[in-house]
Amino acid sequence: MITELSAQNFKSWKDMPKLQIAPLTGFFGANSSGKTSVLQTLLMLKQTVERPSNWNGVIDFGDDNSLVNLGGFDETVHQHNLDLSLGVAVSWKLPERQNLGPIETDSLSFSMSVVKKYEHSVNLDNFCYASGEHEFKIEWELSGYKYKLRSYWERAELFRCYGVANPFGPLESFKSLKDAFENLFHRICYLGSFRESPYSRYAWQGNHPKDTGQRGEEMISAILSKRVKLQDIDKQVMEWLQRLDLIDSYRLNPISDREKDYEFLVRKYKGGPEVRLTDVGFGVSQVLPVLVLCYYVSEGSILILEQPEAHLHPKVQSELADLLIEVVKNRRLQIILESHSEHLLIRLMRRIAEEKISADDTAFYFCEMNEGVSEIERLDVDDYGNITNWPQNFFGDATGDLVGKTKAEMKRKKEQGL
């Protein structure tokens, strides 16, 4: 589980302070306030880890096929100032206590910093692993176009922004640290805000995806994969669709003899006719990947969700909060989300008051932009679900709109002599 996150000179963040990341963490704020960029720091590291083994870059800023496409260093560094270094730091708890080189621990911290010293080259300045009083830091310098270690006499080859290839001597400890770092990011699953539109038919080639894909494109494969493994998730997904009052039931109907093509059939109400997913409200297809992902991934996974409430009615947005609480508690998932939903947040506050989840297991942040620089404030939530530092106009000015509406009504009635 991730416990802390910070960054420097990342997009609109000049200095993102050390954020406490809870089992259920939410980032709220206006458009272009920097909340999505918080998530992108993790996605950038994840796609760096998951690059093919023959990739020899330092950090992966992405492309059109990546989890996130940041462009490059020039576009990502704060205010495009190439004299700045770009840094990210993350802390996490290990699944269990482990021997990592010379130390035994159940938690780790990692930080790294990259710079651009040459026109076409992004260079690692340093990276560091730490646990308690133990710190393992390597700093690099460029000699021509080759890296040299500042901290050790031994020659070594840099492995991306977080490891040493073929380490030996004092550097051997970095192998287990590198493995722990990679294991963390392999456990992260991401679902973006733009989910795929429904199709009239779906093809399954027998693959077993890691998750539902960043646009939900692997949702059907995930459902069928679980069936093959005799781990049916339809029951949980169906129960939530009914609880959200979206549909009564669904089934995947094979439409070829070889059972490679399926249609997703939906019954909107009990006893009603079956129709294709394309013939029901758009919100059903948008929330399905969220539901499937929550029950498909392995326990202990970390889910990054962008606007899970997209295209949903306010009542359904509220109910979605209960889904998140359930899987955090019962499946030991960590949820890190970005949202615009007042209804989702208020339901979470209510559940804290009802002791369905503790305030300590949640962390909510408000992001805003001030003169081109993102700023963040943690919302103080007490044990009764009260936010004691509710930002002004957090979700707009509903009270001001009502006052303005009343004044306009009184003015018109006066003019009409009523």
Residue 380 and residue 246 in one domain: no
* pLDDT of the residue at 205: 85
Give the residue numbers spanning the domain of 29: 1-187+298-418
Residue 399 and residue 350 in one domain: yes
Residue 16 and residue 94 in one domain: yes
Dihedral (CA of 378, 384, 385, 390) sign: negative
Residue 352 and residue 333 in one domain: yes
Q: Is residue 172 part of a domain?
A: yes
* pLDDT of the residue at 153: 46
Domain edge (last residue) among 253, 286, 319 = 286
Q: Is residue 120 part of a domain?
A: yes
**Alpha carbon distance 317, 294 (integer Å):** 16
Alpha carbon of residue 369 to chain centroid = 21
For the domain that residue 99 is a member of, what is the CATH number? Answer: 3.40.50
Along the 418 residues of the chain, how does pLDDT read in single tens digits?
999 999 999 999 999 999 999 999 999 988 888 999 999 999 999 999 999 988 988 999 999 999 999 999 999 999 999 999 999 999 999 989 988 877 889 999 999 999 987 766 888 888 888 888 788 777 765 544 454 555 554 556 788 999 888 777 667 778 888 999 999 999 999 999 989 999 999 988 888 999 999 999 999 999 999 887 767 788 999 999 999 999 999 999 988 766 688 999 999 999 899 999 999 888 999 999 999 999 999 999 999 999 999 888 999 999 999 999 999 999 999 999 999 999 999 999 999 999 999 999 999 999 999 998 999 999 999 999 998 888 876 776 555 665 576 667 677 877 887 7
Q: Is residue 224 part of a domain?
A: yes
Q: Report the length, in residues, of the chain.
A: 418
* pLDDT of the residue at 144: 46
* pLDDT of the residue at 145: 46
Cβ atoms of residues 234 and 209 within 8 Å? no
**At 222, which helix (H) or strand (E)?**
helix 219-228
**At 337, which helix (H) or strand (E)?**
strand 334-338
Residue 370 and residue 322 in one domain: yes
Alpha carbon of residue 101 to chain centroid = 30
Number of domains in the chain: 2
**Alpha carbon distance 235, 58 (integer Å):** 44
Q: Is residue 116 part of a domain?
A: yes
Residue 200 and residue 182 in one domain: no
Residue 2 and residue 78 in one domain: yes
Q: Is residue 313 part of a domain?
A: yes
Q: Is residue 293 part of a domain?
A: no
Report residue 324 as tokens: 């998140």
Q: Is residue 338 part of a domain?
A: yes
Q: What are the counts of helices (DSSP H) followed by strands (DSSP E) for the chain? A: 9, 19
Gap between the terminal Cα atoms of the chain: 63
Residue 51 and residue 164 in one domain: yes
Residue 248 and residue 282 in one domain: yes
Residue 54 and residue 19 in one domain: yes
Residues contacting residue 370 through CB under 8 Å, at least 6 positions apart: none
Q: Is residue 291 part of a domain?
A: no
* pLDDT of the residue at 19: 97
